[in-house]
Structure 1
Amino acid sequence: MTTSEHGNVDFQSDGTKRDIEENETSPLLQNEILQTRTKGASFASSVFNLMNAIMGSGILGLAYAIASTGIVSFCILLLLVASLAAYSIHLLLKLCDQTGINSYEDLGGQALKKPGKILVGITILIQNIGAMSSYLFILKSELPATINSLLSPDEPGDAWYQDGQMLLILVTLCVVLPLAMLPKIGFLGYASSLSFFFMLYFAIVVVIKKWSIPCPLPSNMTMPPGTYQISNSSDSDCTPNFFIISSKSAYAIPTMAFSFLCHTAVLPIYCELDQPTKKRMQNVANVGISLSFLVYMLSALFGYLTFYAHVNSELLMNYDAYMPRDIMVITVRLAILLAVLLTVPLIHFPARKAVNMLLFGGRPFSWVIHVLETLTLVGVVLLLAILVPDIRNVFGVVGSTTSTCLLFVFPAVFYLKLGDQPVGSPESLGAAALLVFGLIVGVLSLFVIIVTWVQNP
């Protein structure tokens, strides 16, 4: 299994474990948690690894992206982002073959010397902090709903165990922090490989429940905070919108970029592939991205067609509000929570390694530094999850900055610096176009998001 929105975690077939003490000073993106040695991974297992890298918490925000852009606009944008993700992987694979480098930060060092390596390390650190924050936000919003679904309907709703922030703090201190503190957490990687199947199950439930929830929604239904509202819409508005342009549309592409980011895992998967050729790995990427695109599209489209103008920025909250005691909703909620609990410590690992690289270089493993880094990172992420009022802010800010850099900007810059094609070649022009697109989307989206915050504090 490999995760990238969550960090970078790689698994190969013979199950050999390596101590994290040995890995603390190894390259940031070369098989951090578990690493095995075999002749090579099969095509199918490599596709599965890449899909694990792609799919994560972003799936919960894509229905909101449809509500803020319209169905046709969303389909075009999602296809564009998926296609550009495949193209940027093509550039990375060419550079890997040309330079022999198989880690993202080393490509940054090769292209831009030490500042490039530091820049990539900072970007990966911020990306992983954002990913962890998004998962802890899910814990904050879903834990109370899960507990309420298991309690009697007559139970008062103001008990401490129904307070999302209190539950988040307790779970972080009692579960996430101890697991993040472990020097060997390889076993979590095998368990977290289930997260992909949990996301697939979530998509299936969304499709099924489309026909279980009426439209219009009951007038006495209390919709959760963060619900998208379209001007002049009403509860009886069950007509899908095909094109929408508003300030909230600025969250769409960053959320998509956040959802398709897998580039920090591509090169290690390439190195592990049986008969590793660029064409074979590109086919792995194309199949993995296409299947992920299909799952994303189904869950987002049917989620939107269920709630229309009332889609929440975190889709599960809509089902919590309408059918909190439905058995399928309860099981998918428990599955997502389990995936979160097992994945956050794994996301934490490459984030901590990024801090090591940035602050301590190649310094040998130290328990003092290990503990201090773990406490600091977990504290920062917990604080962000508590203070951020809406998960779309995480997707928007992280997606428009670090995700855009890792997905579009860095691969283009690295290729323009290191590529063996002349400046006027189609490959170089494509890389330049990718760079311009990434910069425009990132800067424009971030600007609109900040303006939206200022206007609606």
Structure 2
Amino acid sequence: MDRESSADQRAHSIMQQTESGERKALIFPEKQPGEGGSSSLTSASFNFINSIVGSGIIGLPYSMNQAGFPFGMLLLIVIALITDYSIILLIKGGTLSGSRTYQALVHSTFGFVGYLILSALQFLYPFIAMISYNIITGDTLTKVFQRIPGVGPDHFLADRRVVILISTVVFTLPLSLYRDISKLGKVSLLSMVLTLAILITVVIRAATLGPQIPPTENAWSFAHWNVIQAVGVMSFAFICHHNSFMIYGSMKEPTLQNWSRVTHVSVSFAAVLSLLFAAAGYATFTGYTQGDIFENYCKNDDLATFGRFCYGVSIITTFPLECFVTREVVSNVIFSGILSTTAHVGVTVVIMAAATAISLAYDCLGIVLELNGALSAAPLIFIIPSACYLKLSAGRWFQGENLLSCIILLAGVFVMFIGVTMTILYPQDCSHGAELFYCSPSNLSVIHTTPSSGLLPPQNVSQNASQST
């Protein structure tokens, strides 16, 4: 049976062409002259992909270490499919309720209490993402600067705190002060190009460096016991729901068909990048994989230095997208959606100052990704879009198309509570910026070891690995 549900019929009816041939907007009223977004489908896709492929991609090899490689790859595909489905579900929910924002959708569906919960989550996720971006910037760019002649470990450019402060003041703050997200389209394109360069770097090192690092015990087992923590990291990597309405609103022609096209292209592209990155990164380091994969590479690896530079710049260009969302939440909750120029600047500075202060004090990326994935991303991907659609749609929850939304909702509740619990009870350690055992001079740095000479006997690898942890 190809018959659509009554909810879909209602959603599509809003999108049908009028007799004059003009389309009605999906959520926004018909545009008046001078109003509406200015992003083309391509520009919107760039912003969407940039929103997905943020700091989370750097932790995907780490999620393979947690989940087990075969099962982890399957999970990554499933989460990408759920992401694609739930993003479109959000827009359908907005259609049924006549909402213009994510907060308005939840408010119309679950009242003021639901609105407050969603606002807290929608603020928390991008805010923690901003913290993770700063951690990555400090970790990666300090190692890049140390490759410059004359910049030693004691130089101010080798201090992650100084680098975070400089990048914030010089780059991310000015970009975050924009009011129109469509102005970031070209910046997002640059971020995509840099991400491709990073992927090529990781794939090359998987082929040249991976064979010289003996795999850890059970490196290729199907699944591991802490797989739920891996789901949290993957959810963090794919979350983009918090700015979906914002990107949708920036489109010149916000229709269901156009939005579905942007969503499918963006999520598919991000999924391919994520699968390649996760596979290549984990295959190189197996059980030694860190939350930030670039923490695994040796400081004197020039190719890795290039990758670090590209990723550092990419993160700086992605940061403003998250700041836009946090500022919008504050604007809607406290300022009724209207920010004067002074308030706009003040709120932006306060948000960025808070995120920067936390990132200066903490440097373990893996736990940040796990906690944000389980606490914020899981509700935003799995629970809230499904709950809103089920509440607004006709028919029983366990019948027809609503059944899939119900399954996703229940899965999200499970991932959220179990993921947060396991992250607290079983926190993963990190290297805190220290070189791993295979980079020390006594172990013949892998960068200068030929494939024929080998790296270390397996027993020495195990011994050094235990000492490093």
TM-score category of the 2 structures, normalised to the smaller one: 0.7 to 0.9
- Counterpart AA for 1:199: T
- Verify the 8 A CA contact 2:194 2:310 in the aligned structure 1: yes
Q: Counterpart of 1:164?
A: 160
Equivalent residue, structure 2, for 1:103: 101
What are the Cα deviations for residues 302-337 of structure 1, in whole angstroms up to 9, with x where unaligned?
111112222121012223x165323xx333322222
Secondary structure of the structure 2 residue equivalent to 1:80:
helix
| Alignment partner of 1:85 out of 78, 83, 89 | 83
CA deviation after TM superposition for structure 1 residue 390, in Å: 1.0
Is residue 2:190 matched to residue 1:194? yes
The SS at the match of 1:149 is coil
Measure how far apart 1:365 and its partner are: 1.2
In structure 2, the gaps of 5 or more residues are 1-26, 28-34, 431-469
Query: Which letter maps to 1:365?
Result: S
1:285 to 246, 263, 266: 263
Q: How has the CA–CA distance of structure 1 residues 98 and 156 changed in structure 2, closer, same or farther, with 3 Å as cutoff? A: closer
Paired position in structure 1 for 2:222: 243
Aligned to 2:289: 311
CA gap 1:436/1:196 in 2 versus in 1, 3 angstroms: same
Cα distance, 1:41–1:184 mapped onto 2, change above 3 Å = closer
Which one has a bigger Cα radius of gyration? Answer: 2
Match of 2:308 in 1: 333
CA contact (8 A) 1:134 1:385 kept: yes
Amino acid at match of 1:415: Y
425, 450, 455: which one pairs with 1:451? 425
Return the offset for 1:393.
1.5
Offset from partner CA, 1:199-245 (integer Å, 9 cap, x none): 1221122112222215333xxxxxxxxxxxxxxxxx56498413242
**Rounded Cα–Cα distance in structure 2 between residues aligned with 1:360 and 1:280:** 32
2:156 corresponds to which letter in structure 1? W
Partner of 2:426: helix, strand, or coil? helix
Which residue number corresponds to residue 8 of structure 1?
Answer: none
> Which amino acid in the other structure matches residue 266 of structure 2?
G
CA spacing shift, 1:173–1:270, aligned 2, 3 Å:
closer
Decide whether aligned partners of structure 1 residues 188 and 82 sit closer, same or farther in structure 2, where only a CA change above 3 A counts: closer
Other-structure match for 2:276: 298
Q: Is the 8 A contact 1:60 1:314 kept in 2?
A: yes
Cα distance in 2, alignment partners of residues 131 and 236 from structure 1: 31
Alignment match of 1:129 (pick from 105, 127, 130): 127
> Which residue in the other structure is 1:359 paired with?
334
Distance 1:168 1:414, change over 3 A: same
- The one-letter code of the counterpart of 2:302 is R
Q: Aligned partners of 2:248 and 2:172: how far apart in 1?
A: 31
Closer/same/farther in 2, CA of residues 116 and 137 from structure 1, 3 Å limit:
same
Count of residues in correspondence between the two structures? 399
Q: Is the 8 A contact 2:37 2:182 kept in 1?
A: no
Work out the CA distance in 2 between the residues paired with 1:177 and 1:274: 27
Give the 3 Å change call, closer, same or farther, for CA 46–236 of structure 1 in structure 2: closer
Question: Once structures 1 and 2 are overlaid, which stretch shifts more, 253-262 or 189-198?
Answer: 189-198
Query: Equivalent residue of 1:389, what SS?
Result: coil
Answer whether contact 1:251 1:395 (CA < 8 A) is retained. Answer: no
Match of 2:366 among 392, 413, 416: 392
Task: Assess if the C-alpha contact under 8 Å between 1:149 and 1:324 holds in 2.
Answer: no
Query: Residues 421 and 46 of structure 1: is their aligned pair in 2 closer, same or farther, counting only changes over 3 Å?
Result: farther
Q: What is the CA RMSD across the aligned residues, in angstroms?
A: 3.2
8 Å Cα contact 1:63/1:299 also seen in 2: yes
Q: Provide closer, same or farther for how the CA distance between residues 362 and 186 of structure 1 changes in structure 2, counting only shifts above 3 A.
A: closer
Rounded to whole Å, the distance in 2 between the matches of 1:41 and 1:366 is 27
CA 1:131/1:429 → structure 2, altered by over 3 Å: closer, same or farther?
same
Amino acid at match of 2:222: F
Assess, with a 3 A threshold, how the Cα gap between structure 1 residues 92 and 177 changes in structure 2: closer, same or farther: closer
The one-letter code matched in structure 2 to 1:157 is P
CA apart distance, 1:177: 3.7
Amino acid at match of 1:191: V
Q: Within 5 Å, give how 1:236-275 maps onto structure 2.
A: 237=216, 240-247=219-226, 249-267=227-245
Can you list the C-alpha shifts for 1:13-66, whole angstroms capped at 9, x where unaligned?
A: xxxxxxxxxxxxxx9xxxxxxx8656x845x66544432332111110001111
Of 99-108 and 390-399, the range deviating more from structure 2: 99-108
- Tell me the distance in 1 between the aligned counterparts of 2:334 and 2:248: 29
Q: 1:111-150 counterparts in 2 under 5 A? A: 111-150=109-148
- Residue 229 of structure 1 corresponds to none
- Deviation for aligned residue 1:165: 2.0
* 8 Å CA contact 2:146, 2:157 repeated in 1: no
- In structure 1, how many angstroms separate the alpha carbons of the residues matched to 2:256 and 2:178? 37
Q: Structure 1 pair 121/140, CA: closer, same or farther in 2 (3 Å)? A: same
**Is the aligned partner of 1:345 residue 2:320?**
yes
- CA gap of 1:286–1:372, structure 2 versus 1, over 3 A, is closer
Would the alpha carbon gap of residues 366 and 449 (structure 1) be closer, same or farther in structure 2, given more than 3 Å must change?
same
1:160, distance to aligned residue in structure 2 (A) = 2.7
Q: Secondary structure at the match of 2:404?
A: helix
Q: Deviations over 1:387-445 (max 9, x none)?
A: 22311122111111111111111111111221133344222222222111101001100
CA 1:213–1:414 in 2, change beyond 3 Å: closer, same or farther?
A: same
C-alpha distance in 2 between matches for 1:120 and 1:342: 26
Runs of 5+ in structure 1 lacking a partner? 1-26, 28-34, 218-234
Cα distance, 1:371–1:292 mapped onto 2, change above 3 Å: closer
**What amino acid does structure 1 have at the position aligned with 2:163?**
L
Q: Is the 8 A contact 1:216 1:238 kept in 2?
A: no
**3-state SS of 1:379 partner:** helix
> 2:152–2:158: 8 Å Cα contact kept in structure 1?
no
Distance 2:229 2:330 in 1: 28
Give the residue type in structure 1 aligned to 2:235: A
